[in-house]
Amino acid sequence: MEAIATMSFSEALLAALGLTILYLLCTTLWRLTRPHKGPFAWPLVGAFPQLMWNYHRYHDWISDQYRRHGGTLLVPIPFDSLTYVADPRCVEHMLKTNFKNYPKGDRDRDILLELLGGGIFNADGQDWAVQRKTAVHEFSVRKLREHATLVFQEEVGVLVKQIDQAAEQGTPVDLQDLLMRLTLETICHVGFGIRLGVLAPSDGSSEACEFAKAFDLTNQIVAERFVSPVIWKLKRLLKIGGEGKMRKAQSAINRFANSVIQKRREELDTMRGGKNGLQMVENSEWRHGSGNGNGKRNGVLGVSPEASDESSSNSDEDKEKEATGEKRREGSPSLDATRTGPKGRWTLVENEENAKPQIPTTPSSENSEPQDLLSRFMSMRDGCGAPYPDEYLRDVILNFIIAGRDTSAGAITWLFYELSRSRRVEEKIFQELMGVLEAGPGEGGRVAARLTFEKLRKLTYLQAALSETLRLHPSVPGDRKTAVNADVLPDGTRIAPGQFVVWTAYTMGRQESIWGPDAAEFRPERWLGPDGSYRAESTYKFTAFQGGPRVCLGKELAFLEMKAAAAALIYNFRFQVVPGYQVTYGMALTLPVKGGLPVIVTKRWNP
């Protein structure tokens, strides 16, 4: 005790640092050497070398390990470990039954910050609830579906003309690039009320094209962060590797998002006769609680419990309905809450008057307020009556672009890859189109105008083919959660507080225990009942659109767009992947075809 009392401050600091390092080494060694079901773990580095060696085929490697070890995996990595689940019971437990115990968590929000900011896919708690509620309202409006269908018809018609020209020239085209342009155009038109014109021939130098390149690059860089903890932060600090390219990519992304916001604001002012109803307050500041001081806005968000993921109900079904907007409670005051994140802690306080996000009602007149999602967020006010800042709107834009562009375009691309290997399925889709669309030779690009909502709904075999595509090539191949408290999964796996748990849709879609002995086969018929009607599967077995309170709100619109694009292209053309081209996936948050999908196009109908 006397020796301790005579220690200098620097000696005490060094001793504390030494003990901390010793503790970290001991806990890391214990984590890496303890018995586990998964790949071999080396001292200190765990299974990190195998994981990075197989990074180019990451999803297949995880699937191989899952089959080899017979269930839930533990993959130790430096300073942490990853638990992978592909059992529908465990997925339902995480996404629904014990939903509150498995948020994204601060560490993953930090990883995704540059790409998604504080948007709906990177938010938890009340902040997620506010955005979710607004999106629920938007996606439940019938006019949105009607408007979206018209947009799909128009833009798909433009796409058909572009591909028709390529067919006449006899040159291969990158089908994935064209589909990415299509879905970027449609999400900006439907979601943000603006038109880009990106389907027109371009040298790739436009602001939208620069954005697409930067967005894809950022997507890839962020995906790698999930398997390289600490290392990615060091690379960012030293500005090397992909992290060194992030700042330039961010500039291009922000320029595009700010341009969308400014253009939409000007259009809205013009529509309203020059009124500055949506003009942003200059130099507004965020009022935040204890945090890192980076908050930027002075305001209080009033949030109703009906929008909160903390709401309680009498059944799991009620919980899911509450979070998706199907069930609402009346007369509830707002809750005291806080949001903690990389940019500080923003305070949500009790505010009866502003308890609900002020979403404009849908007017019935012809001169009604615009109903696109961005306009709704622009019209909303916080608890102090101030509009949301451009930074917040930027996050809204980027989150809905990754949802509306990357996922749908990727799924349609993989569909045509599978059809190029299964002409039987392609012919069945074509025959269904001939019957439903009642079109004949010579209709050409005009067939897009026949793709009404009612006719698209009748394309059950095409929907089965798209579902089968998403089973084998899920647009979101997996998602990671962070356990808040200790838990036991339905298969007996013990989860520690703070542990990463990954549910992997890619592995689930290829499990014979889930889909039968023909799980590796592309067979749309598995989605059809005896009478030929479409047969949906549980969202915890078929997880392409997630499940539980965070189930995808845009599922119906996604199927409408995918059907419209696929129907018009299959009706007009045949596609063949360029001989010798090796098709595989690229590593990103989504599942794109690596390097695009070059195809040779031939017309079905001769003039």
The residue among 476 and 11 whose pLDDT is bigger is: 476
SS3 of 429-495: the string is HHHHHHHHHCCCCCCHHHHHHHCCHHHHHCCHHHHHHHHHHHHHCCCCCCEEEECCCCEECCCCCEE
Q: Give the pLDDT of residue 366.
A: 42
Reference 576, options 406, 412, 423; nearest CA is 423
Tell me if 384 is assigned to a ligand binding site: no
User: Residue 234: enclosing H or E segment and its boundaries?
Assistant: helix 231-238
Residue 63 near residue 506 (C-beta atoms within 8 A): yes
pLDDT at residue 538 above 50?
A: yes
HSE value, Cβ hemisphere, 13 Å, CA-based, for 67: 14
How does residue 19 score in pLDDT terms, banded at 50, 70 and 90?
low
User: Tokens for 382?
Assistant: 């916080």
The residue among 283 and 183 whose pLDDT is bigger is: 183
Reference 409, options 599, 177, 193, 148; nearest CA is 177
Instruction: Tell me 524's DSSP state.
Output: G
Q: Give the pLDDT of residue 200.
A: 78
Q: Mention every residue, 6+ apart, whose C-beta is less than 8 A from residue 196.
A: 184, 185, 188, 208
pLDDT at residue 253 above 80?
A: yes
The residue among 22 and 459 whose pLDDT is bigger is: 459
Question: What DSSP string describes 304-319?
Answer: -GGG-TT---SSHHHH
How does residue 12 score in pLDDT terms, banded at 50, 70 and 90?
low
- Mean pLDDT score, 231-256: 90
Give per-residue pLDDT as tens, 306-329: 333 333 334 444 444 443 333 433
d(C-alpha 406, C-alpha 339), whole Å: 28
Q: What is the mean pLDDT of the chain?
A: 80
User: Tokens for 84?
Assistant: 């992978």
Instruction: Tell me 168's DSSP state.
Output: H
d(C-alpha 281, C-alpha 220), whole Å: 35
Reference 576, options 143, 252, 173, 200; nearest CA is 173
CB-based burial of residue 490 (10 Å sphere; 0-12 exposed, 13-18 middle, 19+ buried)?
middle
For the chain, the distance separating the N- and C-terminal CA atoms, rounded to the nearest angstrom, is: 97
pLDDT at residue 521 above 70?
A: yes
CA distances from 21 to 15, 17, 28, 79, 166 (A): 10, 6, 10, 12, 62
The residue among 20 and 487 whose pLDDT is bigger is: 487
Q: Mention every residue, 6+ apart, whose C-beta is less than 8 A from residue 343.
A: 113, 118, 291, 292, 294, 295, 296
How does residue 203 score in pLDDT terms, banded at 50, 70 and 90?
low
| Residue 531 forms part of a structural domain | no
| Residue 262 forms part of a structural domain | yes
Residue 404 near residue 191 (C-beta atoms within 8 A): yes
Phi and psi at residue 267, in whole multiples of 5°? -65, -40
| Residue 153 forms part of a structural domain | yes
| Count of structural domains within the chain | 1
Q: For the domain that residue 467 is a member of, what is the CATH number? A: 1.10.630.10
pLDDT at residue 76 above 80?
A: yes
The amino acid present at 63, given as its one-letter code, is S
Question: What 3-state class would DSSP assign to 84?
Answer: strand
Q: Which long-range contacts (CB under 8 A, 24 or more apart) does 202-210 make?
A: 207/255, 207/256, 207/259, 208/184, 208/256, 210/252, 210/255, 210/256
**Alpha-carbon dihedral of residues 17, 20, 22, 28, nearest 10 degrees?**
-140
The residue among 311 and 575 whose pLDDT is bigger is: 575
Reference 381, options 280, 263, 262; nearest CA is 280
Q: Give the pLDDT of residue 364.
A: 36
> Given CA atoms 69, 470, 518, 569 in this order, what sign does their dihedral have?
negative
Q: Mention every residue, 6+ apart, whose C-beta is less than 8 A from residue 168.
A: none
Least confident of 176-190, 262-276, 300-314, 532-546: 300-314
What percent of the chain is modeled with pLDDT above 70? Answer: 75
| Residue 520 forms part of a structural domain | no
The residue among 114 and 2 whose pLDDT is bigger is: 114
d(C-alpha 236, C-alpha 338), whole Å: 29
> What range does the domain containing 250 cover?
120-354+356-362+369-474+544-603
The amino acid present at 1, given as its one-letter code, is M
Question: What DSSP string describes 351-390?
Answer: -GGG-S--PPP---STTPPP-SHHHHHHH-B-TTSPBPPH
How does residue 369 score in pLDDT terms, banded at 50, 70 and 90?
low
Question: What 3-state class would DSSP assign to 335?
Answer: coil
| Residue 384 forms part of a structural domain | yes
The amino acid present at 334, given as its one-letter code, is S
d(C-alpha 291, C-alpha 342), whole Å: 9
Q: Give the pLDDT of residue 142.
A: 78
Helices 142-169, 175-192: crossing angle, 10 deg rounding: 150
HSE value, Cβ hemisphere, 13 Å, CA-based, for 85: 28
| Residue 79 forms part of a structural domain | no
d(C-alpha 189, C-alpha 206), whole Å: 17
d(C-alpha 409, C-alpha 177), whole Å: 9
| Residue 73 forms part of a structural domain | no
Which residue matches tokens 């999803």? 59
CB-based burial of residue 390 (10 Å sphere; 0-12 exposed, 13-18 middle, 19+ buried)?
middle
Beta bridge partners, 206, equal none
Q: Give the pLDDT of residue 444.
A: 54
Beta bridge partners, 375, equal none
Q: Give the pLDDT of residue 130.
A: 84
| Residue 137 forms part of a structural domain | yes
Least confident of 131-135, 257-261, 320-324: 320-324
